[in-house]
Amino acid sequence: MLSALLLLPLYLKNIDKDTLGVWLATGSVLGWMTLVDPGIGDVLQQRIAHLNGQGDQAEVGRTIASGYMACALVFLAAILVGGLCMALAGTIVDKDLSQHANLPAALAITVAATGFTLVSYGTMGMNQGLHNTVQVTFCSLTGNVLFLAINVLLLFRGWGVLSIALANLCRALYLNVYNVIALLIHTKKMGKGFISFQKSHFKKFIHIFSFTSASKIIAGISHSIDMVVLARYIAPSAIAVFEINKRPVGICYALIGRHSVAMMPLISHAAGRNDRSSIQQLVDKQFRIYSYAALFTCLLILYNYDWLIGLWAGSENFAGFTILNLMAAGLFCGLISYFMAIVGYALGDIKMNSMYNIVRNVFFGIAMFAAARWYGIVGTLWVSMLMSLVFDFAFYCWRLHKLGYLPAGFFQRHFSHWLYLLPLLFGGAICLRALTGMWVPEAMLLIRAVTNSILFSLLFAVLVLWLDKRMMKKAKWLGNTYLMLPLQKLRRA
């Protein structure tokens, strides 16, 4: 989050805006090389955690060996496809890349960086499946610090878009080296020969990717086609402004979405033990927390975003309230659908998820192309929001219900009190924003944003605890456990 928030203003200051816009557009084309990744990290994580739950350590070792081989094949395929995408990028976005300083060289480095990044998904997935999560977390954290340091240093030395490409390459190499070492250390206690490659096992393992590969390819094209089409019909500077407004929302999506991703090894492990009740309890408990986190984040964005963009990148870069409202609504719909999709994937419903994504993303890509061409940015946001709300949410909930993990009355139990919560939150947020605007001068954007955020956070907490008895009970338990008991022990001491 800090890297993304810090770097974009630095990009705007140190990189020509037209060059940055073309870089973002061609980056969408290079993004197509990620289509060769069949979701290797998620599959490895799910399979290894499931096998761990079953106690089949020999199969875990064979799966890790097959995972290494699959990572190597993914890297080779990524480099080949990346080279083709780089050669065609200028033609696809209809721009002369040679007119922008260092852009061709940056694209070449990005191809290598993306290839190594795809490999790191596999190595991290294996560590996550083994519950070696501390090492994955530390590696990701230090990798991002490394990326930030290199990027900022090279930006100030005038390297332009090359600074982004080189920082990405260094981070990708670091992630792979660290995760492989962590995995070898973790599996050393299993004994020599634990990781053993078997050709027959590898063939069966690759069969899993027959559906996920097609799903990823179609999803990648459909999700990047909007930026490619927009690049042909609107100015590069407008694309840069859209990216400025979209990036913090994307950061929030990744941050809140990690809550559901973190459950995957737990769910897969419990599924391997056939512990249905534990899975249902985990999903029920975490969805309540997750849905409140999604709602809080979306409303906080909705009522502070213009001030935050003005503070961060300048008020002239705020895209307007129409785009803001659509991004906030799309964020909430996407997060709720994502939670359901992750639970199904962790339960091993990979084939059905992939088949749905193939069909879904064909229609999504067609709709995105039409929306981007005739309705611009607003059209693409409408398509994205409606697809998440109408199709994704319905399908993933239906699948979980069929699998027996989404009982009748689940949403009524979680959302019935939202009939009172939402009007109170919307009304209270409007009043708080108006009062903050009256009390704090317009030039003091930071004070406005901080004051309004604090007041809204208090309002949100009070209303949720008042209307949701289960959250009140949880808050009391947390207060007793982490506040009252330590104070009592301190008094006795």
- What b-and-e string marks burial along 200-209, b requiring 16 or more CB atoms within 10 Å of the CB? ebbeebeebb
| Alpha carbon distance 34, 196 (integer Å) | 28
Q: Is residue 379 part of a domain?
A: no
Q: Across the chain, what does the average pLDDT equal?
A: 83
Q: Is residue 3 part of a domain?
A: yes
| Alpha carbon distance 425, 336 (integer Å) | 19
Q: Is residue 432 part of a domain?
A: no
User: Domain of 78?
Assistant: 1-207
The answer to whether the predicted template modeling score (pTM) of the entire model surpasses 0.75 is no
Q: Is residue 301 part of a domain?
A: no
pLDDT at 90: 65
pLDDT at 223: 64
Contact 97, 89 (CB under 8 A): yes
| Alpha carbon distance 237, 75 (integer Å) | 33
Q: Is residue 7 part of a domain?
A: yes
Mean pLDDT of 195-205: 76
| Alpha carbon distance 120, 103 (integer Å) | 25
Count of domains forming the chain? 1
Q: Is residue 491 part of a domain?
A: no
| Cα-to-chain-centroid distance, residue 345 | 15
Q: Is residue 279 part of a domain?
A: no
Q: Residue 8: which pLDDT band, with cuts at 50, 70 and 90?
A: confident
Q: Residue 460: which pLDDT band, with cuts at 50, 70 and 90?
A: very high
| Alpha carbon distance 16, 52 (integer Å) | 51
Q: Is residue 468 part of a domain?
A: no
| Tens of pLDDT, residues 75-108 | 898 888 888 877 777 666 666 666 666 777 888 8
